[in-house]
Structures are given as structure tokens and as C-alpha cells.
Amino acid sequence: MIEGTVRDCFGLSRTELAFTLCELLDWRRPNGQLKAHECRQFLEELEEKGLLKLPGNRGTGRKSKVVPKATGECRTPTPPVVEGTLADLGPVQLQLVNTPDDRRLWREWVSRYHYLGCTVPFGAHLRYFVTTSEPVPRKVGCVQMSSPAWRMAPRDKWIGWDEEQRVRGLQRIVQNSRFLLLPWVKIPHLASATLSRLARQIADDWETLYAVRPVLLETLVDPAKFKGTCYRAANWLPLGITTGRGRMDREHKRHGAEPKEVLVYPLRRKAREILLKG
């Protein structure tokens, strides 16, 4: 449907096209507004992956640029090894990924160095570079925040909500779906420091973009590969193991396929009470 609508409405601007799709699919925020920003972001991600062709950006006098698809190939020279301590690097910061060049580099690094690779997340999401400033500004990692899993028994049991409360409250949860520190970066405790920075920043960034303020972060850790040490060091709470269905498997088709450990981080003291109220 999306591809057909883009083709049939190719004379519209990208923003008009996003509004049209939102109306057709009834993609709305809790306040009733159409999710036009999320939709346009999703469409541009698909275009950059080479999956569809969008109208050119209006007002720039230039045709839209198709960014090469991210692959495992190294397009960017590997920077020198970064060693030292957190104190040597200056404050850890999170820089939003906004420009085409930054999106290309983010996808390249995640495709090449993250064990899950890089896929286009459906729905709301934010991407960051982890940066440091001393002795020179550097990008040292990548983070992706996205919409939460539809159902996860350990999380849902911890919150204690029923079906109606879950559907209403899911929009207040954000998932850390990618976390990568680049392999040439050798800084002890950088991962937990990054997660602490994320906990301070994500609510403002998410609310600015999507008009919803999250109160809980979640993540999934593959226990066959990782222990989740950095999450525990940053005070995330382990809740248990998933059934392995996959984060958006609403029809129970993949039960037991890939069990993951669920960890959460409340952004508000009474996060559970807020989620129950919706």
C-alpha cells in the first residue's frame, strides 16, 4: 500500500505525502495529531535503503539524493584507537543523527560492527552518535531508541497492567534497540556512562519530536552473547527472560526462537503508576 500510494501521489511534496499516508493508515499520536514526522522519516529511511523513490525535496532546487545503502563494506577509514579514561575524554554526549551524511555513517557503522546489523525500525525512533570532546571531538559509538515491543511477559508482569492499559500506555515506553561502542574505542566504563547520559536526555528529545514524554526505557540482551553488565552498572533492572517470539510477533509464530533478557530503567519514580493510568 505504501509503495502504491507513493507512486500514485508522486506530485505531492514529501510532507503532503506523509500526511496522506497517515490519513489512509490512521497513524495518530495519543493527542489525535497525525504522525506525519514519523511517517516522513520512515519513508526517507526506505528511500535511503533503495526500497522506494520519493519526490525531490522542495525549496532546495535540487533533486533528492539517494544515499548508498549501508552494507558490511567499510566506506569510511577506520579511525585510530581511542584509549584512556573517562576523565581524559571530557563529558560523554549524545548527538542526534539528522543529516544524510550522518545517517549514512551511522548505518555503516551499525551494519558493520553490531551483531544485529542495521534495519529500518517501524514507527517512532531516534538515533544518536555517542561523542566526546577531549582532546578533540570524536564519535565513539551509536545508539538507537525506538518504539517498544508489543508484548513482553516479564515487562508486562512487572508493570501489572491489563490489555487495555497496555495498549494505552505503550507509547510512554521507549526501547534501546541498538547500542554500539566502536571497536577501536578502549575506554573503561564508557558504556555505563553513555547509558546514564541517555537516561537524562531521552525524555526531552523524544517529547520534542513526538509530543509524548516517556517514563520507562527497556532493552533486550541476548544472554547467549552478553551479560548486560553495562546496563546493570547504570542501574537498569533485570526482569527475566522473554519467550523468544520477537518484539512485534503478535500472533505467537516464533515462540522460543530467540529468548532475551529484559531490562528496564524507570525515568520517573512512579513510572509503573503512570503507565497504569495511561
CATH (domain of 231): 3.40.630.30
43 domain-assigned:
yes
Stretch 60-72: mean pLDDT: 40
Give the pLDDT confidence of 242-267 residue by residue, as tens digits.
987 554 554 545 444 689 999 999 99
Same domain (yes/no): 26, 97 = no
Q: How far apart are CA 258 and CA 221, in angstroms?
A: 10
Peptide bond between residue 135 and the one before it cis (omega within 30 degrees of 0): yes
DSSP category for residue 255: T
Domain range spanning residue 139? 84-277
Helix (H, G, I), strand (E, B) or coil at 91: coil
Residue 65 inside a domain? The answer is no
CA distance 88 to 94: 17
Tell me the whole-structure pTM to 2 decimals.
0.73
Residue 43 shares a structural domain with residue 90 = no
Shared-domain flag, residues 258 and 166: yes
| Residue 144 neighbours by CB under 8 Å, 6+ apart | 110, 121, 125, 126, 127, 128, 176, 177, 178, 179
Nearest CA among 224, 217, 185, 223 for reference residue 202:
217
Residue 62 has pLDDT above 80, yes or no: no
State the chain's mean pLDDT as an integer.
86
Percent of the chain at pLDDT exceeding 70: 88
Mean pLDDT across 177-185: 97
- Between 26 and 88, where is the model more confident? 88
Average pLDDT over residues 141-150: 96
Kindly state whether residues 32 and 161 are assigned to the same domain: no
**Is 10 a domain residue?**
yes
Q: Of 146, 145, 172, which is closest to residue 273 (Cα–Cα)?
A: 172
Q: What is Dmax (Cα atoms) for the chain?
A: 55
